[in-house]
Amino acid sequence: MIMYRGNSLEKLFKPRNVAIYGDTSAHGKIFKRCLLFLQASAFTGNIYPVTEEYSEINGLKCFRDISSLPDAPDVILIDSTPSHIPDIVRQAGAKGIPYGIIFSPGQDGLIKEKISAELRGSGIRILGPNSQGLLNISCGIPLTYSISLPLLPEPGSHVALVSQSSSLGFACFTSAREKGVKFSYLVTTGDQVDIDDLEVAGVLLGDKEIDLIILYLEDITDGKRLLSFFRRAREKDVTVAVLKAACYGTSAFSSKYQFSGFIDEEQIWEAALRQHGVIRLRDVDEISDLAALFSLRHPPRGPRVGVISSSRGAGILMADHCRSHHLEIPELSLATQQKLKELLPSHGYHNNPVNLTSMILEEPDLFRATLEILLDEEELDVVIPVVTTSSIDLAETVAKNIMSSYQAMEKSLICCWISKGNDLDPSISLLKESDIPVFDNFEACAAALSQMVQWSCSCPYEDKSQMPSFRKVNEELKTEFTEYDAKKLLNNYGINVTREELCNNLSEAIEAAETIGYPVALKVMSPDILRKTQARVIALNLKDSEEVRNAYGRTLERAAKSNPEARISGVVVQEMLNQGLECMICARRHPVFGPVVSVGLGGIYVEFLNDRSTKLAPVSMNSAMDMIRILNGYPLIKGVWGSQSYNVESLASMVSLVSNIIHVEEDIQEINIDPVFVRITDSVVVDAFIIRR
């Protein structure tokens, strides 16, 4: 029995009566397909065809228009030319129909707006336009024109698929179904003029039967809503997996100030999903692979895999692929090895991956005995039998053995079945029907298992108590920031910056230099000159007052030359830091996900290492340490043989602070610290800029 907590969309998913509207101006194919599928299904309510073309169709009475319907059905399916849609929606609303599914494309913005206007007036809720509808598979109700098989009720599935793309959604559904994966719902949302993917997914969270929601996402504009859905799913122990199109394209950042491609779209999606414990899918077949693993009665408790095969080569390849996906192929315990030695021929292999040899053809029971020994081995979290036989008899025996061993033991088991052929299908089906995941290649098997193990070991959320105690500094935010202003703001939030003074004339500059101590750097401050190095308004390593004097005039001249209109707020005299490792920290406001923070090595390393770590902000210091630890360049910071060991904690603390600043200072678009010098004792910001929204 399916229970919706709250009633939202219930009538859409499980309508009593359904009307199907077929406009004569449309070609009628969709209308007729819908009707046929619904009639061939387990749907028991009334079906009202609304069409001017027929008075009766497939034994059903037709109605000429919506107003003449005997009652208001729960759902109306609409196949019409786009220009007619707003009118049909209004009529349906007036009749009191609560839900409409629009198959026709919204075509252009104007028609979508008109539809929206009708919605506001009437209270009807719309799925589409450009939706291909939905399948309530548990109850056997198809509200679509997009499948060609009769839909019978298939209870017992725990997986729902919600797809913005209609045809991709149905293609994934048919493809996964072909592989034996059962879904409880498929909902395609199309152009989302009203009900969208997140609303549907949110409602499905209320279905206690559902363990796994798979989302195919295209256009996400409201990151907060997405993340809040992820959080609610986690609270309810529902796993979410996301297939996102177009992460590789151009960045959603369009800031004209974008100095470097330090954070890209792909990384932000990766971070957002990982930080919320959401599984990232990259291809359609991963949907069925993952769904298959979720059917396991005993999910893997860890990464230790035992492989068993009658082909030495197949076993080795399976082990190779596991290792390359960060799974482990541990040595078996001596007791287990001894048992295998007694059981298997001497030319087999009695450790992991176990090789039964072709002896299995003569003694098929070897398989079960070996499998049970492995399922009993404490060193293993999951056992993968790899099947390569093309013999029907042997295939059947092997499948039955796997099935019965699996049911008897309390360990995770997935099967990699390489051989194929119609004759073998019944044996493979036997396994699938017992909810044993079956893969037909090593890579997919290892990849899906690794993803599931990583997911089940992840505890994604920030520990709030670990956040720095943080209060927004009550100060009017500047409209434009020079380096000096930016560092002042950072310093107000407790971040170390270089000792420096803003000077208005040469004598102030010389006095400042004497106070700070030589050598010093001179930098002209102007909100109109952000690329100071290119404009050559910086002088470094000035060793005495004479050098300061020369540099003062020279840099100001260059500033005037580089931009005659530039407003000059002064010249900064700054201490020179000569020790430490250059890193950079960058925080930005992403149009979808809001504040993000990134850290990596700076200076020459940025150019070639392409090595950075990104998270949604804010992050705690511990979480920032994790970001730094996964950098390829981490050994350089921590110190490798023969090199300096720097103060990693001070860098992590700064990353956490910066992430909190962009979090609370909502008018800041971007904070760029490049470089920060990480030293033996502390970290100091040497240059920075801040851009207001």
Residues 427-486 that bind its own copies (CB under 8 A): 440-443
Q: Which is nearer to its own copies, 69 or 637 (CB)?
A: 637
283 binds its own copies (CB under 8 A): yes
Q: Is 465 exposed, middle or buried (0-12, 13-18, 19+ CB in 10 A)?
A: exposed
Per CB under 8 A, the segment of 45-53, 292-300, 523-531, 630-638 that binds its own copies is 630-638
Least CB distance to its own copies at residue 485 (A): 25
Task: Single out the residue of 359, 409, 560, 664 in contact with its own copies (rule: CB under 8 A).
Answer: 359
604 binds its own copies (CB under 8 A): yes
What mask, x for binding its own copies by CB under 8 A, covers residues 204 to 243?
A: ------------x-x------------------------x
Q: End-to-end distance of the chain based on CA atoms, in angstroms? A: 51
Q: How far apart are CA 562 and CA 556, in angstroms?
A: 10
313 binds its own copies (CB under 8 A): yes
Least CB distance to its own copies at residue 495 (A): 25
Task: Single out the residue of 321, 588, 590, 615 in contact with its own copies (rule: CB under 8 A).
Answer: 321
Taking CB atoms within 8 Å and a gap of at least 24, the contacts of 245-251 are: 245/165, 245/216, 245/217, 245/218, 246/218
Instruction: Give 654-690 as a 3 state SS string.
Output: HHHHHHHHHHHCCCEEEEEEEEEEECCCCEEECCEEE
Q: Which is nearer to its own copies, 54 or 634 (CB)?
A: 634
Instruction: Give 546-560 as a 3 state SS string.
Output: HHHHHHHHHHHHHHH
Q: How far apart are CA 150 and CA 143, in angstroms?
A: 12
Count of positions on this chain that bind its own copies (CB under 8 A): 91
Task: Single out the residue of 117, 149, 540, 680 in contact with its own copies (rule: CB under 8 A).
Answer: 149
Return the structure tokens found at 4. 């919706």
183 binds its own copies (CB under 8 A): no
Residues 365-424 that bind its own copies (CB under 8 A): 388-392, 418-421, 423-424
Q: Is 204 exposed, middle or buried (0-12, 13-18, 19+ CB in 10 A)?
A: buried
Tokens 């409880």 map to which residue?
184
Task: Single out the residue of 122, 164, 336, 623 in contact with its own copies (rule: CB under 8 A).
Answer: 164
Residues 82-111 that bind its own copies (CB under 8 A): 103, 105-108
Least CB distance to its own copies at residue 215 (A): 12
Task: Single out the residue of 3, 7, 44, 148 in contact with its own copies (rule: CB under 8 A).
Answer: 148
Contact 311, 388 (CB under 8 A): yes
Contact 613, 600 (CB under 8 A): yes
680 binds its own copies (CB under 8 A): no
Report the side by side order of strands in the sheet with 47-50.
47-50, 18-22, 75-79, 99-102, 125-127
284 binds its own copies (CB under 8 A): yes
Q: How crowded is the C-beta side of 25, counted as CA atoms within 13 Å?
A: 8
326 binds its own copies (CB under 8 A): no
177 binds its own copies (CB under 8 A): yes
What does DSSP assign to residue 328? B
Residues 285-304 that bind its own copies (CB under 8 A): 285
The phi and psi torsions of 299 (rounded to 5 degrees) equal -65, 150
Q: Which is nearer to its own copies, 343 or 506 (CB)?
A: 343
- Give the relative orientation of helices 284-293 and 166-178 as an angle to the nearest 10 degrees: 50
650 binds its own copies (CB under 8 A): no
Residues 114-133 that bind its own copies (CB under 8 A): 130, 132
Least CB distance to its own copies at residue 68 (A): 27
Task: Single out the residue of 32, 33, 488, 558 in contact with its own copies (rule: CB under 8 A).
Answer: 33
147 closest CA partner among 161, 157, 137, 158 = 137
